[in-house]
């Protein structure tokens, strides 16, 4: 089996050469030497050339004569949700849907993120006694990272 530390070294080498904000979201190597790498970028999106560059660096440094392997390098994508702190940091100010381990779901705007917790701001209309119009109630929910099951970006077409 191909050593994960070797592949991490090849990825880190190319990311530091590119110096464009790329970071690794996920790296898996199966027992059949299938290597899957998911990348994201601190600002903007991961380009095809970013993926090709990282892929080529891994490909050229591993010897197929020694061990055969399958390689896939891609961007993290929106459908997988947020998995590492850098993704949370990148998406401050965006709409998120957070599923908690206990089962609660909170949907709002992520206004802050640290390695330990995120803050999601929610808005709702509520009728206050003695007033005719509904008032907007804004609440900040501080959520511990270790209590979060899943966080996904809410895609809006407004």
- 113: domain CATH number is 2.30.30.100
Shared domain for 111 and 147, answered yes or no, is yes
Residue 19 has pLDDT above 80, yes or no: yes
* Parent domain of 93: 85-153
Looking at residues 6-13, what average pLDDT do you find? 97
- How far is Cα 2 from Cα 71, in angstroms, rounded to an integer? 12
Residue-wise pLDDT for 60-98, tens only, equals: 999 888 889 999 999 998 788 999 999 999 999 999 999
Does 158 fall in a domain?
A: no
Can you give the pTM of this predicted structure? 0.86
Is the same domain home to 97 and 46?
A: no
**105 domain-assigned:** yes
Find out whether 98 and 120 touch, Cβ atoms under 8 Å: yes
Describe the strand order of the beta sheet including 117-127 as a list of residue ranges.
134-144, 117-127, 105-113, 95-100, 148-153
Cα 58 to Cα 7: distance, rounded to the nearest angstrom: 7
The number of folded domains in the chain is 2
Same domain, 68 and 9: yes
């Amino acid at each position: 089996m191909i050593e994960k530390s070797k592949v991490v070294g090849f990825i880190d080498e190319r990311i530091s050469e590119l110096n464009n904000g790329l970071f690794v979201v996920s790296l898996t190597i199966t027992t059949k030497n299938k290597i899957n790498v998911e990348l994201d970028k601190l600002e903007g999106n991961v380009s095809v050339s970013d993926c090709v560059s990282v892929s080529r660096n891994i490909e050229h440094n591993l010897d197929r004569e020694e061990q055969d392997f399958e390689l896939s390098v891609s961007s993290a994508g929106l459908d997988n949700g947020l998995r590492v702190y850098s993704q949370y940091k990148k998406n401050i100010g965006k709409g998120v849907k957070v599923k908690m381990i206990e089962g609660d779901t909170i949907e709002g705007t992520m206004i802050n993120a640290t390695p330990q917790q995120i803050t999601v701001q929610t808005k709702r209309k509520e009728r206050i006694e003695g007033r005719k119009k509904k008032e907007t109630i804004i609440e900040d929910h501080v959520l511990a990272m270790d209590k979060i099951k899943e966080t996904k970006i809410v895609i809006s077409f407004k």
